[in-house]
Chains A and B, each alone.
Chain A
Amino acid sequence: MKKIVSLVISAAMLLSALAVTGCSKDEGVPMTGEEIYVYNWGEYISNGDDGTLDTNKQFEKETGIKVHYLNFSSNEEMYAKIKSGSMTVDVIIPSDYMISQMIRENMLEKLDFSNIPNFDNIDEKFRKTSFDPTGEYSVPYTWGCTAIFYDSRYVDAADVDENSWDLLWNEKYTGKVLMFNNQRDAFGVAEAKLGYSLNSENLDELEACYQELVKQAPIVKGGYYGDEIFDKMESGEAIIAPYYNGDLLMIQETNEYVKGYIPPHANTFIDSMCVPTCCQNKSAAEKYINFMCREDIALANIETIGYASPMSCVVEQLDEEVTGEFFYPSDEKLAECEVFYSLSDETNAFLSQKWEDLMNQSK
């Protein structure tokens, strides 16, 4: 028995040695002992895979501040965990409507822009946005539009109408269609389909949207997903899904048959970096945000993520194939798209209830 124990311990030591060699800092500023917790979407940063720049490691090297990097898979999940106090982090990267909601609920810190000189890189049109009108709380990270993705091997070209959302409601592809699994995005798709505002607070309109989603339920057959849509489209498990335009290239790397288009009234989103009030080290958080706005770092991130950059100096350096109309829609196209902003508590409650109903009955 003693031998078993010593074996287990030696194995543990072997493992830890492995971990230590992996972590060894070869050069750069010595660690200051400071640390920050960054809470971001999954796979939403250049992380060193296949020889790319590991931006978090680079930040540690240059500043000596340790980065703990954590992932969420929806704005709502992030919000729920921060609100409940089970997550205390220093930098978050939520989307527009969630930012305005968190501003309203006093969950965000005002940023000290003298610590973020690289903010100058951000294009004028992204500086004061509808969700952060004073521009005091957020620094844009990426932006994009909701699009419809389809696998051209299985979807008839005749069924694809780039001027409507009907493909997501096409019974011919029952069981092969996916839908967003968060209420805001899902209702947004229905609103766009019916031509309503994406920020409608009119309960009759929302009820009509609910009915559209109920109609869609038997076609989706429970295929409600969040970030999993990426993998399902990439691997060919699903053939039609709404998703974010910036992901198309990355999906095509593995599955060249996937194509996408942006239907009318689509949602435009801006994901921005913010500091929540539970932050423990604001100056380090601002240093991190500033670092992420540096041209070379932003370029590395955008090249990995594939989403649109709010920095012209970055866009100019990208290949032409990733700056086409699909990835950077023209201003005309954008004019008919809409950004989400936060809804009233009553509307949110209504949506939550309807969403719960939909989930229960699509069972």
Chain B
Amino acid sequence: MKKDSWVASPFMVWVVIFTVIPLGMVCWYAFTDASGAFTFDNILKIGTYWTYLKDSLIMGAVATFFCLLLGYPLAYIMSRASWAAQQTMMMLLMLPQWMNFLLRTYAWMTLLENNGLINHLLGQLGIGPFHMINTKGAIILGMVYNFLPYMILPIYSVMEKIHSSLFEAANDLGADKLATLRRVVFPLSLPGVITGITMVFVPSVSTFVISKLLGGGNNMLIGDVIERLFVGAAPNYNVGAALSLVLMVLILISMAVMKKFDDGEETGGLMM
């Protein structure tokens, strides 16, 4: 089928024009000043934004951790359920995802506000009010809520393929439930876990909407800063591009680290 490779040419042209060149432009902006002269100033300026970057990475990591903590058991439960139950649970997981994520985040805003439903209900019981909105916790909650299914589905899709005979075998060989889980299920589910972690971590670190709606003006993340530098009141494409570049590199590094744990499995990432 060698002669067929030309059919990929529209794709190759597309990738070059709309992926490679734009990224090249980001780099170009990152290393030039407003007049177009080469400079390292933008990269050096990143020091001023370090707190945002650090906050984003930490909050992204915490959100990813909670997604894994909450999601892994559910993925396991799902994979052991009957086929019909599996289908139903899949559907229930996907359903909120098909609604827009802005709406999902907005829903939490109405719950967490100082005068929101939670405080209102607690107030009727004579407790509170608690200050929940515009805190880091609220943002992390928003991330976990929005991205939890991205953790569950890849893990589930790997676990579901683990043949039940493996469990019987482990059982026959004298392993109890916990040992089976630890020695058989967990190692086999690792590719799904890795995919899940990336699928949650990347959007969490780079979000700018969740932090705006749930974090107020006080808890800006790196995504908010980048957005402000490009379409905000005092735009500065050069510094914005430098920050984007750094964000991209940091994410690539963390992915490379994750890949080390993964034994080069290419699949698993594409389960709906």
Contact = CB atoms under 8 A, between A and B. Distances in A.
Contact of B217 (A76, A84, A223, A236): A223
B232 A77 contact: yes
A360 B234 CA distance: 14
B232 A224 contact: no
A221 B218 contact: yes
Contacts of B219: 222
Interface in B6-52: 48-49, 51-52
A80 interface: yes
Nearest to B51: A363
Contacts of A221: 218
B217 A181 contact: yes
A222 B48 contact: no
Interface string A180-216: 0111000000000000000000000000000000000
Contacts of A222: 134, 216-219
A363 B217 contact: no
B234 A224 contact: no
Interface string A216-233: 000001111100000000
B216 A223 contact: yes
Interface residues of A, number: 24
Contacts of A235: 113, 115
Interface string B45-69: 0001101100000000000000000
A182 B49 contact: no
Interface string A342-363: 0000000000100110011001
A356 B234 CA distance: 9
Interface in A235-290: 235-237
B231 interface: yes
Interface string B127-144: 000000110000000000
Interface in A158-194: 181-183
B235 A182 contact: no
Q: Is the interface of B mostly helix, strand, loop or mixed?
A: loop
Contact of A224 (B51, B113, B115, B217): B217
A80 B235 contact: yes
Contacts of B218: 221-223
Contacts of B234: 76, 183, 352, 355-356
A183 B233 contact: yes
B114 interface: yes
Contacts of B48: 360
A110 interface: no
B235 A84 contact: yes
Contact of A80 (B51, B115, B233): B233
A76 B232 contact: yes
B115 A237 contact: yes
Nearest to A363: B51
Contacts of B75: none
B217 to A, nearest CB: 4
A74 interface: yes
Nearest to B212: A228
A84 B231 CA distance: 9
B220 interface: yes
Q: Range of interface residues on chain B?
A: 10 to 19
Interface in A24-63: none
A225 B114 contact: no
B264 to A, nearest CB: 30
A236 B114 contact: yes
Contacts of B51: 360, 363
B52 A363 contact: yes
A128 interface: no
B231 A81 contact: yes
Nearest to A349: B234
Interface in B220-272: 220, 231-235
Name the residue in B113, B115, B217 with the highest tally of chain A Cβ atoms < 10 Å from its Cβ: B217
Contact of A363 (B113, B220, B232, B235): B220
Name the residue in A74, A236, A360 with the highest tally of chain B Cβ atoms < 10 Å from its Cβ: A360
A77 B233 CA distance: 5
B218 to A, nearest CB: 3
Contacts of A86: 231
Name the residue in B49, B133, B216 with the highest tally of chain A Cβ atoms < 10 Å from its Cβ: B216
A154 to B, nearest CB: 11
A34 to B, nearest CB: 29
B40 to A, nearest CB: 19
A181 B216 CA distance: 12
A223 B218 CA distance: 6
A251 to B, nearest CB: 14
Contacts of B52: 363
A224 B134 CA distance: 12
Contacts of A182: 233
Nearest to A235: B115
Contact of B231 (A80, A183, A355, A356): A80
B53 to A, nearest CB: 12
A76 B51 CA distance: 25
19 contacts: A74-B233, A76-B232, A76-B233, A76-B234, A77-B233, A80-B231, A80-B233, A81-B231, A84-B235, A181-B217, A182-B233, A183-B234, A222-B134, A222-B218, A223-B217, A224-B217, A355-B233, A359-B220, A360-B51
Given A352-B234, A360-B48, 8 more contacts: A76-B234, A81-B231, A222-B134, A222-B218, A222-B219, A223-B218, A355-B234, A356-B234
Give the 4 A-B residue pairs with the shortest CB-CB distance, closest first. A222-B218, A76-B233, A352-B234, A224-B217
